[in-house]
């Protein structure tokens, strides 16, 4: 076999491995209820001890107080619904006060389908280098929008009153990376001179931003 053909097959094989590791693995059994609180577990609760309550959660309509961004949300995940373990799902219900918003963020391991239950939100996502194209849309009650996996996306309330959304993410641990936090709230701090040059900002501005409280 020619060396070029061997190289092609090897690269294709490695790419398949990389792709398969990018998303949650398919379950190998009907259920694998998490035996204790946690995002994921390799062991399962004894099936003899499993009850319907392991697949149940209440309180999604009762979020807590609004945070500094005018957002409050409740999450159905493995810690709150152990039956979600190995099912590749996370569900979020959010309420946004007038002018409330989620800072630009990404989910490195999941796409996100958002549905508007009440109010109106402006959403959008940005494609990767070199285009950085921004696709945005105002969603009203009954509308839905998909955020592709791993892309920076934005959500802000544009209604006069509060807005309510639900989101389904196709990973039990999708990851939440808020861009302002990752840059300015890293511990220990990222070098302020480097951030100033990378962001085209004055270094004193960067140092000031590093003192602020961020979403995460």
- Looking up residue 153, the CATH number of its domain turns out to be 2.60.120.10
Position 195 in a domain: yes
Taking CA atoms, 47 is separated from 31, 33, 40, 102, 178, in Å, by 8, 8, 17, 39, 38
Mean pLDDT of the chain: 89
Number of domains in the chain: 2
Q: Is residue 185 part of a domain?
A: yes
Sheet with strand 152-157: strands edge to edge: 134-140, 120-126, 152-157, 101-106, 177-178
**Whether residues 58 and 116 fall in one domain:** yes
3-state helix, strand, coil in the chain (%, to 5): 25, 25, 50
Q: Are 79 and 88 in contact (CB under 8 A)?
A: no
Q: How far apart are CA 207 and CA 216, in angstroms?
A: 18
Mean pLDDT of the 164-187 span: 95
Give the model's confidence band at 19: pLDDT under 50 very low, under 70 low, under 90 confident, else very high: very low
Q: What is the pTM of this model?
A: 0.84
The tokens for 163 are 């807005």
Token code pair at residue 108: 């490195």
User: Residue 29 pLDDT more than 50?
Assistant: yes
What is the C-alpha separation between 212 and 203, in angstroms, rounded?
15
Mean local confidence (pLDDT), 150-161: 98
Per the structure, the complete domain to which residue 185 belongs is given by 179-216
Task: Look at residue 32 in the predicted model and tell me its pLDDT.
Answer: 93
- Contact present, 117 and 165 (Cβ < 8 Å): yes
Q: Are residues 142 and 201 in the same domain?
A: no
Question: Which one has a higher pLDDT value, 148 or 20?
Answer: 148
Residue 10: predicted pLDDT: 46
């Amino acid at each position: 076999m020619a060396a070029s053909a061997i190289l092609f097959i090897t690269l294709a094989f490695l790419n398949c491995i990389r792709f398969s590791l990018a998303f949650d693995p398919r379950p190998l059994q009907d259920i694998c209820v998490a035996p204790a609180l946690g995002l994921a577990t390799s062991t399962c609760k004894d099936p003899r001890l499993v009850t319907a309550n392991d697949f149940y959660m209440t309180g999604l309509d009762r979020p807590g107080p609004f945070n500094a961004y005018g957002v409050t949300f409740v999450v159905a995940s493995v810690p709150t619904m152990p039956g979600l373990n190995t099912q590749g799902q996370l569900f979020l219900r959010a309420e946004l006060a007038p002018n409330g918003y989620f800072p630009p963020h990404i989910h490195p391991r999941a796409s996100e389908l958002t549905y508007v239950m009440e109010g109106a939100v402006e959403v959008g996502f940005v494609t990767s280098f070199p285009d950085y194209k921004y696709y945005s849309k105002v969603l009203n009650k009954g509308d839905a929008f998909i955020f592709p996996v791993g892309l920076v996306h934005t959500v802000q309330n544009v209604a006069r009153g509060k807005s309510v959304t639900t989101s389904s993410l196709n990973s039990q641990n999708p990851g939440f990376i808020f861009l302002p936090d990752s840059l300015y709230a890293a511990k220990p701090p990222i070098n302020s001179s480097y951030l100033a040059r990378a962001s085209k900002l004055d270094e004193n501005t960067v140092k000031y931003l590093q003192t602020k409280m961020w979403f995460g």
